Structure 1
Amino acid sequence: MSLNHIPSPGDPGSRLLDGPALWPAQAHTPTVLGRQLVIDRGEGSYIFTDDGRRLFDGTAGLWHANIGHSNPELAEVAFDQMRRLETYHIFARFTNDKALALGERLAEISPIDRSKVILNSGGSDAIEVACKLARRHWQREGRASKKVILSREFAYHGLHAYGTSIAGLDFNREGYGTDSLVPETARVSFNDPEQVAAVVAEIGPENIAAIVTEPVQGTGGVNPPVPGYLEAIQKICRENDILLLLDEVITGFGRLGTMFAAERYGIEPDMVIFAKGITSGYAPLGGVLVSPQVWEPFYIDSPDTPVFRHGATYAGHATAAAVALRHLEILERDQLIPRVKELETLLRTEFDKLARQNVAVTDVRVAGLLGGITLAGHLKAEQVCDDLIELGYVARPLRGNTIQVSPPFIISDQELTLFVTAIDQAITERENR
């Protein structure tokens, strides 16, 4: 159908125009309308459709449902907080007790010593703030040329203006009339530190404000760092006065078996961007942990102290903060982060077995409770994931013909084994058609 053609009621394409008012996210709309699964409830590691199907949530929603769905403790704490105070903004002289308490708790567990905490509504918001703060830092330092933000091939950092601009997935930057909505951005290799150093030298460190990276790339195909890569990036940053921004929207709060991936890989970033796992998805919340090097100049007791103009209506939302505080208690009380380490071992064993048994699997990757399965080119990850739904499991197709596996932390050993078995079955049946 031509883009310039508006279907009349008699045209076959008119059913698309008469579909639901809700615009599907991240979708080629014509291929999903009429095929959407309407999720009307969840329970633990399972979700249920409005037509009665029970599906194992093998992706924890969008990487976030770490403690599973419909946890009554989080529902109750949200209810109690709303009855007391739904929220109050944290602009200027105002704040609220739950935002303050969450800030203190995050500073305690932060991989950055003496960090300050900027709160907002999610990962894309947090990326926007972190990139702006990186540039603001160097402007305040009087080094006005340091404006470029570097990011990696295949990176995903949300879809606000900065997230779109630093995306390493080209399709997320295309179609806006320019290579980058924010012009001062560039991409570096996702696995070759020598190429990163070459790009830094070419652009000039005097022009670069920050390098932003996911410790383990998520949407780009579940790509753990090659040995030494993150350490090399950190060294490049330190030697060239470039801020290191770690996007832990997916990896933060236990997904890799440590509270933050920075701990697992021994990285000392200047900022950590977080979201998703801080509330297990029970409330929209994200933010940035900021190092003293960056925040201290904004705290000096002087009329000349600059203001960093950040803030949103729901930054420090009291109910979201209350949910996050309880969620962090549950992670600790139920020993869910150590449990992820145990599950990583099992997931690696099951993935290795899958790769040995199924010739259509060309690569498997595991980091914590994150897994990626790459399929041979004659199979399509999208089709295999559709087949998995018919078997009662949710997985997600990603770049590189990859199947994403990232179940809730509460998954049992048996459920994890059965999940990988179902993936094997779906691949085999698709190949034999």
Structure 2
Amino acid sequence: MTLNNLTLPGSSTSASVLESPALWPAQAHLPTVSGRQLVVERGAGSWLYTQDGRKLFDGTAGLWHANVGHGNTELAQAAYEQMLQLETYHIFARYSNDKALALGEKLAELSPIDRAKIILNSGGSDAIDVACKLARRHWQREGRDSKKVILSREFAYHGLHAYGTSIAGLEFNREGYGTESLVPETARVSFNDPAQVEQMVNRIGAENIAALVTEAVQGTGGVNPPAPGYLEAIARICRENDILLILDEVITGFGRMGTMFAAEYYGMEPDMITFAKGVTSGYAPLGGVMVAPHLWEPFYLDSRDTPIFRHGATYAGHATASAVALKHLEILERDQLVPRVAQLESTLRTELDALAGRSEAVTEVRSAGLLGGVCLHESLSAEQVCDDLVELGFIGRPLRGNTIQISPPFIVTDGELSTFINAIGEAINARSGK
């Protein structure tokens, strides 16, 4: 591997940007990425192949989701067979489909929430919207009409639907819409200081707060594991103030922590869990919410006066996506991939500690489960280092706090993981002139 003679393209001219492909890239500063996009056309295991002939190690598992790697024939076959039988049918009112029902039972069995009901939809952003709406609906039904505010943490990312945008702790995701918050009743709390959280609750008034939404380990915010005692403290604050606790497990759910859920890893008892990404390993768009009995039971009472919670979308409970999820969960169990992640956790921590020890440009390394972050000195750019990594044959991703994301597929070998961390070190050294 070498970075000799590496030159990176600069920003494109206005003309070339205007003549770029019709597809509008997501989360992109268009003048910077136009003309520089890597077009992925094939994947196999932990590796990706681009249209221009590159072979790249997928050090981020896509957007945290490709847990069983790319090109899995069993998942492709499950989708194919299901489409031949029934591509999908909606689950509104009297109708359902067999795969959505089976997936609901399987997820309830796996859920850290006892006797959970499962709401299915198309992804993590959908799930956050539904969970926040259910929190508010719950308190309105209880006759506690003032409980509307949704709390979230600094540096949090919860998708980009209206609620996800409104509760984002990354300010750049909330700016530019003509109002402080698309949904007005939201507020941010400290990402690591329970005392500040308690102060915020007292300032707003517990009688006005419906729920607190948190990731167990912040992902896009910079791979931030919780400070010791933080999660326990906010759980206590929620419990003592009748505030619902919503745990966003879109990244951590289904094995990323070496346990099936981060709730188990950290000993949490949330009222709702949102999930997506890892439920299908990204092979089909699917997400949802696990709901505790005290929230769902009032909507199941045998009475004409029982209220309706108005959730649902065309592809909620999509039969093909559900079939893929069921097969994926079978693979996780059969191939013992979650215990494998638990083994890889110590390998990742050892490799990151070694990297920090040999590079002064690394200011901090963070890890939890198979999630890692390498924070760089301000003299370096994580974005530029990740561009350099591509030239070395590896994919990293720059995150908030000048941090490089590490979250490879569960099938990664110890050797691949070590080589990836070493490549990060080489790219850092090249940029810092070492």
Structural mapping, 1:259-274, within 5 Å: 259-274=260-275
Q: Secondary structure at the match of 2:200?
A: helix
Between the two proteins, the alignment pairs up a number of residues equal to 423
Structural mapping, 1:85-104, within 5 Å: 85-104=86-105
Aligned to 2:73: 72
- In the aligned structure 2, how far is the partner of 1:265 from the partner of 1:407? 22
- In the aligned structure 2, how far is the partner of 1:338 from the partner of 1:253? 11
The yes-or-no answer on 1:111 pairing with 2:106 is no
Q: Secondary structure at the match of 1:352?
A: helix
The yes-or-no answer on 1:33 pairing with 2:34 is yes
Structure 2 alignment gaps of length 5 or more:
1-11
Q: Secondary structure at the match of 1:135?
A: helix
RMSD, aligned α-carbons: 0.8
Aligned to 2:156: 155
The yes-or-no answer on 1:280 pairing with 2:281 is yes
Aligned to 2:331: 330
Aligned to 1:414: 415
Partner AA of 2:114 in structure 1 = D
- In the aligned structure 2, how far is the partner of 1:15 from the partner of 1:354? 39
Partner AA of 1:425 in structure 2 = E
Partner AA of 1:392 in structure 2 = G
The yes-or-no answer on 1:225 pairing with 2:226 is yes
CA contact (8 A) 2:13 2:31 kept: no
Partner AA of 2:51 in structure 1 = D
Aligned to 2:122: 121
Aligned to 1:375: 376
Q: Secondary structure at the match of 1:364?
A: strand
Partner AA of 2:411 in structure 1 = I
Aligned to 2:7: none
- In the aligned structure 1, how far is the partner of 2:189 from the partner of 2:17? 40
Q: Deviations over 1:330-386 (max 9, x none)?
A: 000000000001101000000000000000000000100000000000000000000
Seen in structure 2, the aligned counterparts of structure 1 residues 331 and 12 have a Cα distance that, compared at 3 Å, is closer
Q: Secondary structure at the match of 2:136?
A: helix
Partner AA of 1:193 in structure 2 = P
The yes-or-no answer on 1:13 pairing with 2:14 is yes
- In the aligned structure 1, how far is the partner of 2:430 from the partner of 2:18? 35
Shift of 1:181: 0.1
Aligned to 2:54: 53
Q: Deviations over 1:114-168 (max 9, x none)?
A: 0000000000000000000000000000000000000000000000000000000
Shift of 1:14: 1.7
Structure 1 alignment gaps of length 5 or more:
1-10
Q: Secondary structure at the match of 2:144?
A: coil
Structural mapping, 1:160-239, within 5 Å: 160-239=161-240
- In the aligned structure 2, how far is the partner of 1:384 from the partner of 1:101? 45
- In the aligned structure 2, how far is the partner of 1:417 from the partner of 1:12? 39
Shift of 1:237: 0.5
Partner AA of 1:360 in structure 2 = A
Q: Secondary structure at the match of 1:21?
A: coil
The yes-or-no answer on 1:137 pairing with 2:128 is no
Q: Secondary structure at the match of 1:55?
A: strand
Q: Deviations over 1:156-195 (max 9, x none)?
A: 0000000000000000000000110000000000000000
Q: Secondary structure at the match of 2:38?
A: coil
Aligned to 1:8: none
Partner AA of 1:38 in structure 2 = V
Partner AA of 2:184 in structure 1 = P
Provide the TM-score with structure 2 as the length reference. Answer: 0.97
Partner AA of 2:40 in structure 1 = I
Provide the TM-score with structure 1 as the length reference. Answer: 0.97
Shift of 1:12: 4.6
Seen in structure 2, the aligned counterparts of structure 1 residues 48 and 211 have a Cα distance that, compared at 3 Å, is same
Q: Deviations over 1:191-220 (max 9, x none)?
A: 000000000000000000000000000000
Partner AA of 1:338 in structure 2 = P
Q: Secondary structure at the match of 2:80?
A: helix
- In the aligned structure 1, how far is the partner of 2:430 from the partner of 2:340? 33
Q: Secondary structure at the match of 1:329?
A: helix
Q: Secondary structure at the match of 1:342?
A: helix
Q: Secondary structure at the match of 1:400?
A: coil
Q: Matched residues, percent identical? A: 76
